[in-house]
A and B are shown apart, each in its own frame.
Chain A
Amino acid sequence: MGAQLRVYRQKIRSAQTTKKITRAMELIAASRIQKAQQRVAASGPYSRAVTRAVSAVATYSNVDHILTTEPEKVERAAIVIFSSDRGLAGAFNANVLREAEELASLLKSQGKDVVYYLIGRKAVGYFAFRKRATEEAWIGGTDTPKVELAREIGDALVSRFIQPTSEGGVDEIHIVYNRFVSMLTQTPEVVRLLPLEVVEGVEEPGEREILPLYEFEPEVDAVLDALLPVYIESRIFNALLQSDASKQAATQKAMKSASDNADKLIRDYTRLANNARQSEITQQISEIVGGADALASAK
């Protein structure tokens, strides 16, 4: 067998094994999207209930609460970046990081200090490579995220927010995550988490009746104290779930195109290998014929 032919056969085999891997990853991602989507849907009632309660308190009362009042001067802002732990997801992480960079430069141009909180190994790697400081990072929890993780992140953010600015506290918290729009589209989204703007309309059920006057137990302040961290946590949990679903969808898309590329490579190399084999045979025939001719004319 000719050297050229052997090289082609090797390349075909390598493309075939790669294709097996990417195909498997595509199928795994496809089955995980379903689960991730179900989790997003299942957490819906909770976040709706929490949002409803928070907007009830916020509209009913004009209490000044630290989590809802706008600071007069914003000196430091925190950005929370939701990335994934593993790559092979196309532009998933690149998108969210780019969005975060844009937000950071916008905040810096307004004269604010920017500090970063990272979720997922990819963002941590990105920051470590550029030797940039991060406040806190959570890794290893982005696949099927748990409520506990959301709680941990929420607690860290709220306590940092409550700290006075002079002691290193932050005045604003933004989150950047990929929102799952559909299987084909996931858009990076920037949301200001604190000070609170209660997202109405998004989480609100269809009918928009006027919220009734509530009785609070124990008091408005205490209820607000207890509710707001829960609200923050539910927003973060929602972002984690959305990000997970988007990651699976992005992986599936990336792996699908990888498998398609492998198919194309295999086809191209098979053609080349056939060509090489054929030309080898042609050469052998012409060598035999030429040799026979030479022998015949030598007689």
Chain B
Amino acid sequence: MFRRSELDHRPSVQIFVDGAAVAAREGDTVSAALLASGRDVRRLTAVSGAPRLPYCMMGVCFDCLVTIDGVGNRQGCLVPVAEGMQVELQKGKREIGR
């Protein structure tokens, strides 16, 4: 859906998406890294279980919700990636304590 421009020379950052290593770039948000990864990164909504992807990328729509380092329902479009970050796609409602 998206690819990186060859102009982009930022250093690489490795994150893990559902356990699999994904190459991101320094300064990417989690949502941008997911959309650039080429993987199926759809989440399922808490209401009906419908699949969604980020819609606004600017922090207002909450369709980018994702579990980051064990904490659920983070806005992936507002959180920059960090080396070794563990990202999990959410399927339905967040689990309590996560």
Tell whether A and B belong to one assembly.
no
Which B residues are closer than 8 A to A by beta carbons?
Answer: none
